[in-house]
Amino acid sequence: MYLPTLRALFSLSTHDASAAIHALQTASRYDLALGSIGFTGRFGGLYPIYVRGMAYLAAHQPAEAAGEFQRILDHRSIVLVDPMDAMARLQLARALALAGDARRAQSAYDDFFTLATNADPDIPLLREAHAESARVR
């Protein structure tokens, strides 16, 4: 599942969203596969889903992107302590805003901000999210 994800990331870096989506098709059957998981968990378990969501955003397909990010949030027990949970919330908010669903987008932004309550307010990603949230209101 990692090789298709890396190929997709390369395609996204060259602004080829359709190639990224295509590269991740082979990984889709393993999206929720855990393999062996230890006490400390495993990072990267849902990265193909996350990157597929990013590819859908890049392809201007916000409904599909929102579906991918929601899949991550629906399987948070796989995510464990990976920052993927927080990033999926932010990307879900962005996808919903792009789809024109302001109410659900604002709710997703609020969920993200709840996780970032104690974060440094000068983190660029957090400042961007606050600006985006203000535009959605």
Which range has the worst mean pLDDT, 8-12, 25-29, 58-62, 72-76?
Answer: 25-29
Which pLDDT belongs to residue 40?
Answer: 46
- Domain spans of the chain, in order of start: 2-136
Specify the higher pLDDT residue, 75 or 113.
113
Specify whether domain 2-136 bears CATH 1.25.40.10. Answer: yes
> Residue 83 above 90 pLDDT?
no
Q: Cα–Cα distance between 13 and 59 in angstroms, integer?
A: 13
Which pLDDT belongs to residue 39?
Answer: 43
Specify the higher pLDDT residue, 131 or 38.
131
Report DSSP letters for the chain, one per residue. Answer: -HHHHHHHHHHHHTT-HHHHHHHTTTTGGGTT---S--TT--TTTTHHHHHHHHHHHHTT-HHHHHHHHHHHHHTHHHHTT-THHHHHHHHHHHHHHHHT-HHHHHHHHHHHHHHTTTS-TT-HHHHHHHHHHHHH-
Calculate mean pLDDT across residues 81-92: 91
Which pLDDT band, with edges at 50, 70 and 90, does 76 fall under? confident
Q: What is the pLDDT of residues 93-134, one digit of tens each?
A: 999 999 999 999 999 999 999 999 999 999 999 999 999 999
Output the pTM of the full model.
0.88
